[in-house]
Amino acid sequence: MNFKIIKSYAKINLSLGVTGKLKSGYHTIESLISFLTLYDEIKIRKIKNKDHKIHFIGKFSKGINKNNTVSNLLKILDKNNLLNSQKYFIKIKKNIPQKSGLGGGSMNASSLIRFFKSKKILNFSKIKIANLTEQIGSDVKLGLDYKNKILFSNGRVKTSSTKKRLFVIIIQPNFGCSTKKVYKGVKKYSSKKVKNEKVDYFSFSNILKLQNDLENVVFKNYPKLIQVKSFMEHLPNILFARMTGSGSSILGYFLTKNSAIYAAKIFKKKYKNYWCITSKTI
């Protein structure tokens, strides 16, 4: 049987505010979320085997733990016999860096859930799908479609009809950031800035007013990133530069493709050892 091919797109946080901490230890956050044309390639096919087979290949596949979002998803589905005892061979080409804030692992799980739904293997209500995603990771629910989303601090997610065509350069240094460690370092919380559901939060004027609160923690531990962001902010025609998620990737945003390509060339001359590519929002 031939492989089915799935594109698992990168997630970005145009903004991220940490508004508090729950008794459970998890933080409450608010965020504007979009997606890029950068993607991991997932190949999947049925196999006659006792167990699933999961292989990671590609530039950013090194060091992926055996217990990952994809294996966890399959374990949950098997435990509840939702795959009807069918096993799968899943090969994932990792084009999205690990520990970059681009949600690669979470989006892999989201993409597989979308695939199983499209094949009528999972005939779930929205509530059951939400419960499933929460068992795997808090970001998984965000990738069930690739529309812009507003995440409110109470956990509610609203899809935005606003489309922003932005071109980006993605900068990934030669190190990653541990999400757990970064959140542990958060000592101050922001007031809620994303709370009125009628506001067009994806307007340029609003995006520019917001920030990523986690930059304060990450830059303190990785001061090289302050220099990177500062350099990026002086690139020609850049709208703004901002870290995504808990890092370590920083993105520069542009209105045109040529501006992004030219900026990437300038950056690569300065930082030859950092991964730098261009992409655009979906």
Q: What integer pLDDT is reported at residue 174 of this predicted model?
A: 93
What average pLDDT does range 249-268 have in this prediction?
Answer: 98
Tell me the residue length of the chain: 282
Is residue 200 scored above 90 in pLDDT?
no
CB 186 within 8 A of CB 225: no
Pair (60, 107) in one structural domain:
yes
- In three-state secondary structure terms, 43 is strand
With bands split at pLDDT 50, 70 and 90, how would you rate the model's confidence at 95? very high
What average pLDDT does range 27-38 have in this prediction?
Answer: 98
Pair (131, 185) in one structural domain:
no
For the stretch 40-79, pLDDT in tens is 999 999 999 999 999 999 999 999 999 999 999 999 999 9
Is residue 121 scored above 80 in pLDDT?
yes
Pair (204, 76) in one structural domain:
no
For the stretch 124-166, pLDDT in tens is 888 999 999 999 999 999 999 999 999 999 999 999 988 889 9
Residue with tokens 């993409």: 111
Pair (29, 145) in one structural domain:
yes
Which residue type sits at 193? K
Structure token pair of residue 263: 């900026």
Pair (244, 263) in one structural domain:
yes
- From 157, 180, 212, give the residue that closes a domain: 157
CA distance 71 to 194: 34
Q: What integer pLDDT is reported at residue 124 of this predicted model?
A: 86
CATH number of the domain to which 71 belongs: 3.30.230.10
Q: What integer pLDDT is reported at residue 164 of this predicted model?
A: 86
- Work out how many domains the chain is built from and give that number: 2
Which residue type sits at 275? W
Pair (52, 152) in one structural domain:
yes
The domain in which residue 70 lies consists of 4-157
Query: Residue 276: how many CB atoms within 10 A of its CB?
Result: 18
Q: What integer pLDDT is reported at residue 104 of this predicted model?
A: 98
With bands split at pLDDT 50, 70 and 90, how would you rate the model's confidence at 183? very high
Pair (53, 148) in one structural domain:
yes
CATH number of the domain to which 173 belongs: 3.30.70.890
What average pLDDT does range 230-239 have in this prediction?
Answer: 98
Task: Write down the pTM of the prediction.
Answer: 0.96
Is residue 1 scored above 80 in pLDDT?
no
Pair (32, 112) in one structural domain:
yes
Task: Round the average pLDDT of the chain to a whole number and report it.
Answer: 96
CA distance 207 to 72: 34
Pair (89, 191) in one structural domain:
no
- From 157, 181, 203, give the residue that closes a domain: 157
Which residues 6+ apart lie within 8 Å of 220 measured at CB?
185
Is residue 115 scored above 80 in pLDDT?
yes
- From 100, 127, 157, give the residue that closes a domain: 157
Pair (15, 32) in one structural domain:
yes
Pair (104, 44) in one structural domain:
yes
What average pLDDT does range 209-218 have in this prediction?
Answer: 97
Catalytic sites, residue numbers? 11, 139
CA distance 145 to 9: 10
With bands split at pLDDT 50, 70 and 90, how would you rate the model's confidence at 93? very high
Q: What integer pLDDT is reported at residue 2 of this predicted model?
A: 92
Pair (92, 218) in one structural domain:
no
Query: Residue 33: how many CB atoms within 10 A of its CB?
Result: 24
